[in-house]
A and B are shown apart, each in its own frame.
Chain A
Amino acid sequence: MPATCRADVEALLRAKKLDRTLVPVTGTSGIAIAPEMVSTGLPLLNQQLGGGIPMGQFSEVVGPRSSGRTSLLAALLATVTARGELAALVDTFDVFDVESLAAAGVRLDRLLWVRGEPSTSAFPPLTNGRRQPGADRSIARALKAMNLILQAGGMSVVALDLADAPLQALRRIPMTTWLRLQKVVEGQQTAAVVTGTVPMSRSAGGVTLALARDSGLGTRGSEDRRNSGFGARDSGAGAIESEVRIQRARLIPGMSGLPVRLTAAALVA
């Protein structure tokens, strides 16, 4: 789109006071206020994100299973709670491991944990067929819970975990649901984060962190540790390496957009 047309569109949006979701770009007229950011706790990732995950927006952490989504979310929660701020986690299928959260550095007393139904609704028996009413019900409750938490406010990060939700169930969520939630979080000092397998809910000012798994467990020197006996898990017994790609609605000058490599090593004993 030519720059003049874009400037006209942006001017029209500002006139109608619909410009709150515009990402500030250099050269625009008017006063641009950069959104506040929530640090992810990972300096390299923060650098690529321009400070962190933007507040007042819906962002996503997506990727396949075992790509590091949960670990990245735990690191974000740890950073926020360590600052004395509050965070909320809507655990749709009640899968989060408390020991893992504690090991990641999350201050558990500052975390509001909302547990949904057990994970059997996300992994029903094969004989159940395609329809999974349990998953739909769990997702609906989780969305309501997130709505309540966002409306109440006061949290620095509100995370919704849909990583184990069946793809069909996610596709049945109306688009208006995400728009309504985005309207609720708009203007708040809260970063909303959704974890999932595919992008589905990012707002215009949010970011999508797409994780891709490079390798699985035990690709680095684990040959010597096979059949290591009945001992405690050692550091380096295996590692999960992932690559994080950042997707935005707009290109931010100065942000190279290069992928960031993350390593999740030393499994929790």
Chain B
Amino acid sequence: MFACLYVPPSPVRRVVPAAASGTDDARLVDIARMVSPRIDARSGNQVVLDVQGLERLVGDARAIGERLRREASDRGITPVHVAIAGTRTAAMLLAAARAGVTVVAPGGEADALAPLPLRTLAALADGIEDRRQKAEDRRQNSEARRPNGGRGFSPGGHVEAKASTSISDPPPQGGTPNPESRVPSPDCLAVLARWGLHTLGELAALPPVELSERLGQDGIRWQRLARGEDTGPLVPAKEEEPFESSLELEWPVEDLEPLSFVLSRLLDPLCTRLEYRDRGAAALHLRLRLVTRALHLRSLQLPAPMRDPKVLRTLMLLDLEAHPAPAGIDAVTVAIDPTPGRIVQESLLTRALPAPELISTLVARLQALMGEGRCGSPATVDSYRPGAFTMTPFVVHQNEGRSQKSEGRSQKPEEVVRSQYSVASRRSPEPRELAPSAKSLAPGLAPSLRRFRIPIPAHVLIDNGRPLSVRTDRQALSGGHVRTAAGPWRTSGEWWKTAAVTGAAAGATPGAGASSSQSRRAGWNRDEWDVTLSDGGVYRIFEDRETGRWFVEAIVD
């Protein structure tokens, strides 16, 4: 016996926002799951469930139908049609055509369907296409709703949740094409109407051979549907399995060490389940209920799917070390966003790169040691500001080594040197030739700067526009007389930007104009020199043209 819950489209329901219709899907599924574990969510407004064996629990078929209608009504889903029949097809057609609760005894499906109009078959076509579109819409909506996710609590701290899958998204139903989706199109229905066929019974009464000669196998299929015959078994939808675990503590926990045991106890079974389902954790969510009744929420976005409980526990502890809970912890909840496990194909010819789990743990430990934002990969920025750079997360791409190794091998040393100069010539687009004397020596290096993030103030004696001596008040950087000097090179930029600063900080950053105590220009305007001093060092110094002050910016090494 099968039951079908059907919510008919109506003008009133069209004004309901899309979010509410998405909720109706979930409510229909919930109602069906209350009664039976074998359900098939056909579309947003139709759910089919197997009610075989529920007579002893609920009652006869009409009692089952009344219960379903009552549950739907209690949840605000009205109107709703309920039909119970011996086949799924008959239940769906009867629910689409008749209001209220319809019960058909097994064996009487054909007679019950006979008077229904042919257009009722269109209710079966709402299955696959609408379901796929709605699944895609739900997936897009869930990604747009992040980082709140669908878990019932909002993560705190740094949240960059972008899980590839969401537990709250029901998966698309039916992995294989459903023959029932191939129902008569409106044109076919018009042809059938011209033939004088208006009801399902008339279609069912046609001789099959002649029908197949005119309409092919589709005609035979439609005839079977008109008789209420199923073309395949019910494929029950898998219930979404939340990867979430909670534990109430007998007494509050304040330190990380006892908390680590709690996290191990929660993560071990979750990771085992992930392994059984060939899933990895894309994101970790931790909810700590404190003794003050407040919630301390943390979320970790993982660079690659992981399911090693020790690694996940270490990452959580390192994160809590940087963002500790303000009070004792009463309850711990761990939730995991699952994602399919990754498949890595290693190469025998290149060195194996470290696993993302190892890199994640290493970077987390380094950040705990050196501070947030002090570890990662450097990146240049599109700016002429001296020393401009940005930090990016250090991520290992597993398939890079193989493709890039040939690049490194094919480059000859001379080409490497030449490319260094081409990169260095950012400000002089013309290709630069090496000086003849340099070619006679061993292959050269691209000189590197050791840059002071905050330039060091210097006292520079000037004679005829050239620096004579450079002195600072810093240990190991006393300076000396200028032996050789190259320059000046004038550089300026970002004159249009201003930075609002307090009076104490105004003008603290050299190279920027301090026009007022309330705001200062964020740009720079300087004359740079490269000098060799008597202490043997080669330095880059500059004069801030706004203030006339000199600074040591870098050491050439």
A interface residues (Cβ-Cβ under 8 A, vs B): 41-45, 64-75, 78-79, 82-86, 94-105, 108-116, 118-120, 122-128, 132, 141, 144-145, 148-149, 152-156, 163-164, 166, 189, 213, 216-222, 225-228, 230-241, 260-269
Contact = CB atoms under 8 A, between A and B. Distances in A.
Nearest to B539: A66
B441 A261 contact: yes
B444 A164 contact: no
A267 B556 CA distance: 9
Contacts of B409: 83
B413 A41 contact: yes
B515 interface: no
B446 to A, nearest CB: 4
Interface stretch (B2-10, B31-39, B373-381): B373-381
B438 interface: yes
19 contacts: A70-B448, A72-B445, A79-B408, A95-B452, A100-B446, A108-B378, A123-B475, A149-B362, A154-B353, A154-B354, A154-B359, A164-B450, A216-B538, A217-B485, A226-B466, A238-B530, A262-B445, A264-B444, A268-B448
Interface stretch (B71-79, B182-190, B248-256, B392-400): B392-400
B544 to A, nearest CB: 16
A115 B390 CA distance: 12
Contacts of A166: 475-476
B532 A75 contact: no
Interface string B294-318: 0000000000000000000000000
B461 interface: no
B438 A218 contact: no
B281 interface: no
A239 B362 contact: no
Contact of B556 (A120, A152, A240): A240
Contacts, number: 321
A219 B456 CA distance: 26
A234 B424 CA distance: 10
B152 interface: no
B379 A103 contact: no
Given A145-B370, A166-B476, A85 B447 contact: no
B387, B420, B446, most chain A CB atoms within 10 A = B446
Contact of B446 (A119, A154, A268): A268
B442 A86 contact: no
B476 A122 contact: yes
Contact of A152 (B361, B428, B435): B361
Given A70-B448, A114-B370, A154-B359, A120 B454 contact: yes
A83 B438 CA distance: 27
A155 B426 CA distance: 30
Contact of B369 (A108, A132, A144, A264): A144
Contact of A234 (B389, B428, B446): B428
Contacts of B488: 230
Contacts of B483: 216
A266 B447 contact: yes
B536 A216 contact: yes
A248 B350 CA distance: 30
A4 B409 CA distance: 43
A83 B404 contact: yes
A217 B486 contact: yes
A112 B394 contact: yes
Given A86-B354, A95-B450, A105-B446, A218 B486 contact: yes
Given A97-B387, A104-B446, A266-B421, 7 more contacts: A78-B416, A97-B448, A99-B387, A144-B369, A152-B361, A235-B434, A236-B437
A202 B403 CA distance: 34
Given A84-B400, A95-B451, A262-B444, A113 B375 contact: yes
Given A120-B454, A221-B435, A263 B442 contact: yes
Contacts of A110: 377, 400
B374 to A, nearest CB: 5
Contacts of A222: 484, 486
B474 A123 contact: yes
A107 to B, nearest CB: 8
Contacts of A113: 375-378, 391
Contact of B557 (A66, A221, A233): A66
Contact of A112 (B375, B404, B445): B375
A103 B424 CA distance: 5
A217 B537 CA distance: 9
B258 interface: no
B450 A163 contact: yes
B441 A141 contact: no
